[in-house]
Amino acid sequence: EAGVAQSPRYKIIEKRQSVAFWCNPISGHATLYWYQQILGQGPKLLIQFQNNGVVDDSQLPKDRFSAERLKGVDSTLKIQPAKLEDSAVYLCASSLVAGFSTDTQYFGPGTRLTVL
């Protein structure tokens, strides 16, 4: 079974530029998450989708970050304009359904963003 796919793996941009990350979850997984992991810290949840609807975006900086999950499968996370403090690894995860305590989140390899 294929895992969570993410692209690109690495991205370097100048501040104030825009950038987009793509995620393809495990086949059949209804729930998709985006996390931000700053160097030396644990991942922090940015947004959670259930199918193509947003379940939780309380920690998403909505002035510059946006995300969508069209057709309930692939998802795109965008930053516009980027700031220096956005330098981090952006991790996508998926799970079969939300709300079941035993359901495991499986993570993709991440996209490492460097903002200069």
Partner 1 sequence: AQKITQTQPGMFVQEKEAVTLDCTYDTSDPSYGLFWYKQPSSGEMIFLIYQGSYDQQNATEGRYSLNFQKARKSANLVISASQLGDSAMYFCAMREFALGGGADGLTFGKGTHLIIQP
Q: Which is nearer to partner 1, 81 or 109 (CB)?
A: 109
Question: Residue 89's closest CA among 114, 107, 64, 67?
Answer: 114
Q: Which is nearer to partner 1, 27 or 104 (CB)?
A: 104
**Contact pattern for partner 1 over residues 6 through 25, marking x by CB under 8 A:** --------------------
Give the interface segment with partner 1, choosing from 20-28, 60-68, 73-81, 108-116 (CB under 8 A): 108-116
Q: How many C-beta neighbours within 10 Å does residue 110 have?
A: 19
Q: Taking the alpha carbons of 31, 36, 39, 43 in that order, is the dihedral positive or negative?
A: negative
Per-residue buried b or exposed e for 61-71, using 16+ beta carbons within 10 Å of the residue's own CB: eeeebbbebee
Contact footprint for partner 1 (CB under 8 A): 31, 33, 35, 40-45, 48, 50, 55-56, 89, 91, 93, 98-99, 101-102, 104-110, 112
